[in-house]
């Protein structure tokens, strides 16, 4: 088993995070944004600030790095390619989104359940597509 190509992991993680952030921005910001703002108002909170949106995007980059790191880790066992990247994106989604968003679906009256469900589905797409894009750039040394 060889060492991780750190430069390619960083490049792939950056791409995975950016692609994931773009998907999230389209779904969570453009499509679901008004609904999220309404849910926040119902809780007596303000809409998300620009600073909070930047923080979400930074978290998205961290998720991208983690996803490609998982890909790099399972690559020797499953082989390189999009199928392995899909598995890595799926694991990332379960750990970064499904578990956390399930709590929002279980807690009554916090957020509308359909918003948490839509966010979880959008996160699935963001994690899988982002991981496949980032993993395509990873090559061993």
Structural domain boundaries, residue 108: 13-135
Q: Which residues contact 20 (CB under 8 A, 6 or more apart)?
A: 60, 63, 64, 67, 126, 127, 129, 130
Q: How far apart are CA 80 and CA 69, in angstroms?
A: 13
Residue 115 belongs to a domain: yes
Q: What is the band of 1 on the pLDDT scale with cuts at 50, 70, 90?
A: low
Residue 141 belongs to a domain: no
Residue 4 belongs to a domain: no
Give the tens place of pLDDT for each residue, 23-80. Answer: 999 998 889 888 888 888 888 888 888 898 899 999 999 999 999 999 999 999 999 9
Give the tens place of pLDDT for each residue, 4-21. Answer: 999 999 999 999 999 999
Residue 5 belongs to a domain: no
Residue 8 belongs to a domain: no
Residue 6 belongs to a domain: no
Enter the pTM of the model: 0.91
Give the tens place of pLDDT for each residue, 123-141. Answer: 999 999 999 999 999 998 7
Residue 2 belongs to a domain: no
Residue 96 belongs to a domain: yes
């Amino acid at each position: 088993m060889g060492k991780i190509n750190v430069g390619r992991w960083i490049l792939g993680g950056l791409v995975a995070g950016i692609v994931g952030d773009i998907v999230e921005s389209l779904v969570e910001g453009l499509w679901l944004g008004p609904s999220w703002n309404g849910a926040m108002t119902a809780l007596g909170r303000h809409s998300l600030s620009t600073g909070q949106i930047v923080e979400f995007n930074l978290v998205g980059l961290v998720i991208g790095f983690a996803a490609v790191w998982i890909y790099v880790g399972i690559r020797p066992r499953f082989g390189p390619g999009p199928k392995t990247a899909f598995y890595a994106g799926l694991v990332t989604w379960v750990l970064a989104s499904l578990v956390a968003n399930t709590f929002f679906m279980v807690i009554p009256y916090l957020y509308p359940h359909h918003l948490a469900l839509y966010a979880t589905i959008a996160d699935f797409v963001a994690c899988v597509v982002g991981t496949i894009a980032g993993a395509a750039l990873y090559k061993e040394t």
